[in-house]
Each structure stands twice: as C-alpha cells, then as structure tokens.
Chain A
Amino acid sequence: KNQVEQSPQSLIILEGKNCTLQCNYTVSPFSNLRWYKQDTGRGPVSLTIMTFSENTKSNGRYTATLDADTKQSSLHITASQLSDSASYICVVSGNYGGSQGNLIFGKGTKLSVKP
C-alpha cells in the first residue's frame, strides 16, 4: 500500500532554534517529493520539490534532503521564526490515479515556534 509517514506528529521549539522533520515513504512508482507548508485554514504552499536524482534542495531557511534508496526525506528549518508555525506536509507524487489520485499525503507535522 502506498503510504507516507511523518514524524514527529507535533513539535514545539523556541524562536531562533533549528529543527528537522522526517518523512518516510513506501510509494511506487515515485515521481517527485514535495514539502508543503500549510497555515491553519489555508491551502498548502510548496516549499521544495525533489525528483529521484536530487539529494538536497534549499529554499531560504528550508533545506530538504532525499534518500531514494532508503525512501526517506527530511526538512530542516534553520533559525526558526514565529511565522514558521504551521503544519508541514510531505507529499509524494506519481502516476497512481484510481482511488488514490496522483498524490500521497503524509499527515503532517504541526510545528509551533514560541518566543
């Protein structure tokens, strides 16, 4: 069964600290993996997208890694800010169609950044 699992489920950190979110997937076929940031009540916004051959990709203070062999990805946030408080969702995409659609979602990690 195609699945994406994220950990931790929730995380509280102090402003200015770094953190790392994890994503493990058992999805085939694999097309690409995206990390989205979702503020409460809003649509997900893409942070990074990585294809099979990419190991690392950065977007400002966000750095995503991908190990296609172990089917693991991580999202590292540097020097956290209060505005980073949100849910971070890992999404794997491919040509699945049918009852799953083409996107397999993790349940997200809810990050709270405290002053």
Chain B
Amino acid sequence: DAGVTQSPTHLIKTRGQQVTLRCSPISGHKSVSWYQQVLGQGPQFIFQYYEKEERGRGNFPDRFSARQFPNYSSELNVNALLLGDSALYLCASSLYRPQSAYGYTFGSGTRLTVV
C-alpha cells in the first residue's frame, strides 16, 4: 500500500503569488491534517479535515485555506505569499480515531520557497 503522498516535492514562488499543495492519504484513512514546519522548529498545526469537513484550524491567517475531496485527498491553498511562508508543509493522514494505536502517518512534505 502507498503511504501518504504529497505533491509537488519542491516549489519556488515569488511574493504575492498563490500556491496549491496536494495530499493523498493512506487508503482507508478519512482524516487529513496539514502542518507548517519552519526550519529548525517543530510542526505547527494549520488544518484538520475529516469526512470533507473542517474539524480544526490553527492560528493561521485567512490567506491559508484547504479542502478535502470525496476521495479524501486534500489541497492546501496559500494566497498572497509572503517570505515567511517559506517552510516544509506536511500532510498527515489518520483514521480519525485518536484512541487508535495506529495514529498518524506523515507524508514526505512539500518544500515551499518564497522569493
């Protein structure tokens, strides 16, 4: 079985542009969470989606938005990019049963560089 797939792996954008990042969860997983990880820091929670509905939102501006599709894949959109948005964006999928021992599996991330 494939793991969590993220695309693209690397991306370079200029300030003010918009970007869309994509995530395909593990087959059977219905929850996708997005995290931003700035170099040298731990991941910061952005969004969680379960069954196509937003179930949690971190402290990020409205320039960040996301959605989940019927096949449980997800997109993260960032508008009006700032230099500070440069980071590794991680997607994690789960069955959305926090009590489950299986927990969360992360993708390899998308490295976004804003110049």
Contacts and interface: CB of A to CB of B under 8 A. Distances in A.
B58 A49 contact: no
B103 to A, nearest CB: 6
Given A89-B42, A108-B42, A99 B104 contact: no
A37 to B, nearest CB: 11
Interface residues of A, number: 29
A99 B90 contact: no
A42 interface: yes
Given A41-B88, A44-B90, A103 B109 contact: no
Most buried by A among B45, B107, B111: B45
B90 A101 contact: no
Given A41-B88, A107-B42, A108-B42, A102 B101 contact: no
A43 B92 CA distance: 9
A105 B56 contact: no
Given A101-B48, A103-B92, A41 B98 contact: no
A58 interface: no
Given A97-B55, A99-B58, A105-B42, A49 B101 contact: yes
B74 interface: no
Contacts of A105: 42-43
Nearest to A40: B39
A97 B45 CA distance: 10
Interface string A81-99: 0000000010101111111
A106 B94 CA distance: 20
Contacts of A42: 108-109
A31 interface: yes
Contacts of A91: 104
5 contacts: A41-B109, A98-B56, A99-B58, A102-B48, A102-B98
Interface of B: 4, 6, 33, 35, 41-43, 45, 48, 55-59, 88, 90, 92, 94, 98-99, 101-109, 111
Interface of A: 31-32, 34, 36, 41-46, 49, 51, 89, 91, 93-103, 105-108
